[in-house]
Structure 1
């Protein structure tokens, strides 16, 4: 009799055509942040068709599909976001329709981005962020349903979650899902697997992100008599220089995640008329944090500079705050949320990661590790809730948000098997497998 992983390999091949067609359908369906209803309907319909035990949509528009094992055990959340960024100028897409979902053979990076190789790919917006990965996760769940139908036993609960509004980077969909929907329905989770692009590697963390608004104050006067005013733009220059020349070089580096960073990305002034000396200069600052840092620590660093400047110059006045955003879902629910995402990482020696690595080895996939440059909703599961979290996905990070957006079909099929294998291995773990993260 075949063991469960031998059977899984055959099921993966059975699903090959279906999962590729499903990924293509997702890519052909626009779902810019705040407009995810149609894609959510497709997710729900597909999970019902594939035999998920429970499928529902919450009041914010997130979708959930649950598969119960034959025995009690840990609950593993498999997470994808349903939204995507704008395709931008279609003239940059080199003949591909951003919503065409065209399949062809093209030159594409190998797993390690060392060489180009010919492979079949699906082209279009969100192919690599994250619709190729979402299709693989949903069909990994379907593989578990098939295994159960064939009499194989396994522990735990597989929970697929498709969340709204990840791209704006405030985690509103994930926060609502975990803190409200799960709580109300009595759903718990022990660990999370993200479908964000990882090139079939196990991704183990990323830096956090805080958006600050620093406001430097002055006093208006007529532009013909600037000596009568205090020009807020000029007053901001010492602050800008200290951030660039003193604060940035002093920031710490994490061995895995890289350098903490700070970047001034937008400057605006008020009143903003040519004949008026501005009395406000607003600086939008992007701060990338590493474990051990948070928004308050990063804010205090800039407040210290403001204090030093105000002590030297009585006319210098400024303050800083974390920016916020008002996000409205396609169902009409609104949240005003801070633009603050926590950093996180999980060690490759953590029992959850080791179990995932063993799973990939079992199905013949090479085990490699990586870390994201960008942020993900794992800032909630790992950064806030401290639950073991990893990324595993067929998509490749370098194509995300570009007019070269694509996903390899061979990687999608491998990810169906890999995701299901990870589930089967980690649910057999012990208490250490699900130890909360610390740093």
Structure 2
């Protein structure tokens, strides 16, 4: 159990981070808060990369594995602060809960991770085998795993701990996510004479109906690889008596382990190829959406929206080692999977780095009005992170 002084320290850091409004691309104040805390609490070095990710490092006195604790410091926006019971950036405490945007997703976890590393290092006087890295990651809400690529390239960790909300349970996998773009190309003309043109909306509707018959794969643990239409937009828009010569549809695809960029697009490509064989006026293209955002450093972050799924086994050695130490510390987490996408898509899904997730708060509180974190969860997850460090840095 954390003593009173340490509990106050974790709570205060969490509150300070909440008070640093940090929408994606505006994380500079939150990064500065973490930088100050790290430098004041025994971190050996602190770096900010080209995207604005902040990476702190504590080196043990003996050689050993590298463990990276990953937590994003950007948040989704507050759409209407007037709907909140308490101000979304005041970090007020009421009935044992800290309220504010990012409390659950996921500044509470970030505060706990950084504090746990400082406490662990101080308690052992850095007499442990290995290295602890803490990453405050930018732009995760825009595209999971893209900013994380530069972190893993720098750190080259042996283990990663994702701090996304898990209600103190241990997560060993997740479905991934892809954003698929289907485009149709027609021929513009006056809508008074539609036979002179090719309506791209009709063509995309033709494809959409056939794509509905695609059966995505199923995984016994992760569930269905869902393929769902999320939007359609034609051009020119508004039409103003013009037959649209372009239409774009977007699909959300949930990814299972082992799926690749090619294997996911293949059944859609087969559908549109079949249509174009029999309809000479049909013209399509299918691809992945590309995200492009400006970082607070002034640099541009860009990447395809394809974030792989990943899954480890309950009896993998590193999972069992972590569970043993958590049990010794008085915790009995369930071993489950995340229902949403995380930076684990890069670490585990792309880079094959051993990854688990554990965070405070419930998953369904993220992005909500009156978002909060229970102080009891915040202090307990700090202890859990210290137990994980003990398990992996032997």
Where do 1:332-343 residues align within 5 Å? 332-343=298-309
Q: Closer, same or farther in 2 for the Cα pair 1:238/1:295, shift >3 Å?
A: same
CA contact (8 A) 2:165 2:362 kept: yes
Where do 1:284-303 residues align within 5 Å? 284-303=250-269
Structure 1 residue 395: deviation in Å? Answer: 2.4
1:121 maps to 2:97? yes
> Please, which of 148, 164, 182 is the counterpart of residue 174 of structure 1?
148
Q: Closer, same or farther in 2 for the Cα pair 1:336/1:65, shift >3 Å?
A: closer
CA contact (8 A) 1:127 1:405 kept: yes
> Please, which of 16, 33, 40 is the counterpart of residue 31 of structure 2?
40
CA contact (8 A) 1:12 1:413 kept: no
CA contact (8 A) 2:48 2:54 kept: yes
What corresponds to 2:134 in structure 1? Answer: 160
What corresponds to 1:111 in structure 2? Answer: none
CA contact (8 A) 2:265 2:286 kept: yes
> Please, which of 374, 384, 389 is the counterpart of residue 423 of structure 1?
389
CA contact (8 A) 2:325 2:388 kept: yes
1:220 maps to 2:188? yes
Structure 1 residue 13: deviation in Å? Answer: 4.6
1:15 match: secondary structure: helix
CA contact (8 A) 2:145 2:347 kept: no
What corresponds to 1:239 in structure 2? Answer: 207
Structure 1 residue 291: deviation in Å? Answer: 0.6
CA contact (8 A) 2:172 2:356 kept: yes
Structure 1 residue 188: deviation in Å? Answer: 2.8
1:252 maps to 2:217? yes
1:56 maps to 2:47? yes
2:88 match: secondary structure: coil
Structure 1 residue 175: deviation in Å? Answer: 1.4
Structure 1 residue 164: deviation in Å? Answer: 1.2
1:411 maps to 2:387? no
Structure 1 residue 60: deviation in Å? Answer: 2.5
Q: Closer, same or farther in 2 for the Cα pair 1:59/1:316, shift >3 Å?
A: closer
CA contact (8 A) 1:70 1:148 kept: no
CA contact (8 A) 1:164 1:172 kept: no
CA contact (8 A) 2:145 2:344 kept: no
Where do 1:18-417 residues align within 5 Å? 18-93=9-84, 95-105=85-95, 120-149=96-125, 153-179=127-153, 182=154, 187-244=155-212, 246-247=213-214, 250-272=215-237, 273-417=239-383
Once residues 38 and 199 of structure 2 are traced to their aligned partners in structure 1, the CA distance between those partners, rounded to angstroms, is: 60
Total equivalences in the alignment: 393
Structure 1 residue 143: deviation in Å? Answer: 1.3
CA contact (8 A) 1:19 1:136 kept: yes
2:320 match: secondary structure: helix
2:68 match: secondary structure: strand
CA contact (8 A) 2:62 2:130 kept: yes
Q: Deviations over 1:21-40 (max 9, x none)?
A: 11111111100011111110
CA contact (8 A) 1:130 1:395 kept: no
Q: Deviations over 1:162-213 (max 9, x none)?
A: 111111015332112223xx1xxxx431010011111100011111111121
Once residues 335 and 139 of structure 1 are traced to their aligned partners in structure 2, the CA distance between those partners, rounded to angstroms, is: 29
In structure 2, stretches of 5+ residues that fail to align are none
Structure 1 residue 15: deviation in Å? Answer: 0.5
Structure 1 residue 375: deviation in Å? Answer: 0.9
Structure 1 residue 91: deviation in Å? Answer: 3.0
The CA RMSD measured in Å over matched residues stands at 1.5
1:360 match: secondary structure: helix
Structure 1 residue 12: deviation in Å? Answer: 5.0
CA contact (8 A) 1:220 1:230 kept: yes
After TM superposition, the score normalised by the length of structure 2 is: 0.96
